[in-house]
């Protein structure tokens, strides 16, 4: 498994706005609904969200939990948190910049820790999971989701393959390397155990449908609204438009004109802190 590079975790410039406007509705909202549906019955009084991004899960948590439930939403990237805070939530939450590898919270301060599509970016998964366990109360719950292998997410697979024609000697592999680079249930279970969770985690495959208003919107989402853009521009910034157009054409060939749909798959992981 290849560790994420610094460019893989760089969400800056126009990326957060494009990510929130295009990428989140296309891929993340269905899984945010699924994740919050699972945790809303856990009746937590204090919830910590790590790697909150632009706040799609945060907004769902704020709407689905009682007003007295405290929610602290964190992310490593200030630009992402700024976008999340600007969008806002249905009730107040605390936004805080924080590194999942070294959480700035005391031991046992939360009875639920939630993370959507962030674990793949942690350079040391077991260490990050140990931090989640540390801030949980005894018997508290850590719930996170991660993408399955790239072949099971059709939009992503098509875009990644299409970009091989633009940069044949060094094709951008961000999506395969990082978002879809951590999907083996055996490795996940090993890392969860390495984080101090004594019982084997529950790992559940969840299939969903990704939807975009057009192939153009989907191509912009991938090529300009994620760190894939960093890879493209590192090769040749003047070819960002060409790369986006190539991805658009490939998506249109595969899924048609107008609104498009594709299959995707993720895993939900549920781990209980020792009681």
Report the distance separating Cα 108 and Cα 82, nearest Å.
27
183 is a domain residue:
yes
| This prediction's pTM | 0.93
pLDDT digits (tens, 9 = 90+) for 224-252: 999 999 999 999 999 999 999 999 999 99
pLDDT of residue 11: 60
pLDDT of residue 268: 98
pLDDT of residue 12: 55
Is residue 147's pLDDT more than 90?
yes
261 is a domain residue:
yes
pLDDT band at 3 (very low <50, low <70, confident <90, very high): very low
Is residue 150's pLDDT more than 70?
yes
1 is a domain residue:
no
Is residue 10's pLDDT more than 90?
no
Angle formed at CA 180 by CA 178 and CA 186, multiple of 5 degrees: 105
Is residue 185's pLDDT more than 60?
yes
242 is a domain residue:
yes
Residue 92's domain comprises: 6-272
pLDDT band at 214 (very low <50, low <70, confident <90, very high): very high
Number of residues assigned to the chain: 275
pLDDT digits (tens, 9 = 90+) for 11-52: 657 788 898 999 999 999 999 999 999 999 898 999 999 999
pLDDT band at 2 (very low <50, low <70, confident <90, very high): very low
- Stretch 174-182: mean pLDDT: 96
Report the distance separating Cα 262 and Cα 53, nearest Å.
23
Q: What is the CATH number of the domain that holds 50?
A: 3.40.50.150
SS (H, E, C) the chain: CCCCCHHHHCCCCCHHHHHHHHHHHHHHHHHHHHHHHHHHHHCCCEEEECCCCCCHHHHHHHHHCCCCCEEEEEECCHHHHHHHHHHCCCCCCEEEECECCECCCCCCCEEEEEEECCHHHCCCHHHHHHHHHHHEEEEEEEEEEEECCHHHCHHHHHHHHHCCCCCCCCCCCHHHHCCCCCCCHHHHHHHHHHCCCCCCCEEEEEEEEEEECCHHHHHHHHHHCCCHHHHHHHHHHHHHHHHHHHHHHHHHHHHCCCCEEEEEEEEEEEEECCC
Token pair for residue 4?
Answer: 């994420």
Q: Count of domains in the chain?
A: 1
Report the distance separating Cα 256 and Cα 23, nearest Å.
19
**CB half-sphere exposure, 207, CA atoms < 13 A:** 5
Cβ neighbours of 62 (radius 10 Å) = 21
- Stretch 106-127: mean pLDDT: 97
Is residue 1's pLDDT more than 80?
no
Is residue 118's pLDDT more than 50?
yes
pLDDT band at 186 (very low <50, low <70, confident <90, very high): very high
pLDDT band at 94 (very low <50, low <70, confident <90, very high): very high
110 is a domain residue:
yes
- C-alpha dist (Å) from residue 143 to 39, 70, 86: 8, 17, 26
Q: Which residue is it, tokens 């948190």? A: 81
pLDDT band at 253 (very low <50, low <70, confident <90, very high): very high
- Stretch 49-78: mean pLDDT: 96
């Amino acid at each position: 498994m290849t560790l994420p590079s610094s460019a893989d975790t760089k969400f800056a410039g126009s990326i957060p706005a494009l990510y929130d406007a295009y990428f989140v509705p296309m891929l993340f909202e269905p899984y945010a609904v699924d994740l919050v549906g699972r945790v809303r019955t856990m009746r937590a009084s204090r919830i910590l969200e790590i790697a909150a991004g632009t706040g799609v899960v945060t907004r769902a948590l704020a709407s689905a939990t009682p007003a007295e439930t405290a929610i602290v939403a964190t992310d490593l990237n200030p630009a992402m948190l700024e976008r999340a805070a600007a969008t806002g939530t249905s009730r107040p939450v605390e936004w805080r910049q924080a590194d999942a590898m070294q959480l700035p919270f005391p031991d046992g301060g939360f009875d639920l820790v939630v993370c959507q599509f962030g674990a793949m970016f942690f350079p040391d998964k077991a260490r990050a999971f140990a931090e989640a366990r540390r801030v949980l109360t005894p018997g508290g719950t850590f719930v996170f989701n991660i993408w399955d292998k790239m072949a099971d997410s059709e939009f992503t697979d098509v875009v990644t393959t299409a970009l091989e024609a633009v940069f044949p000697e060094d094709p951008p592999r961000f999506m395969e390397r990082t978002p879809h680079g951590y999907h083996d249930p055996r490795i996940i279970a090993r890392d969860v155990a390495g984080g101090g969770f004594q019982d084997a985690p529950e790992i559940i495959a969840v299939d969903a449908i990704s939807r975009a208003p057009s192939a153009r919107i989907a191509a912009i989402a991938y090529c300009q609204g994620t760190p894939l853009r960093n890879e493209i521009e590192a090769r040749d910034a003047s070819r960002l438009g060409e790369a986006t157009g190539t991805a658009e054409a490939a998506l249109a060939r595969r899924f048609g004109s107008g609104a498009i749909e594709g299959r995707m798959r993720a895993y939900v992981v549920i781990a209980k802190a020792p009681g």
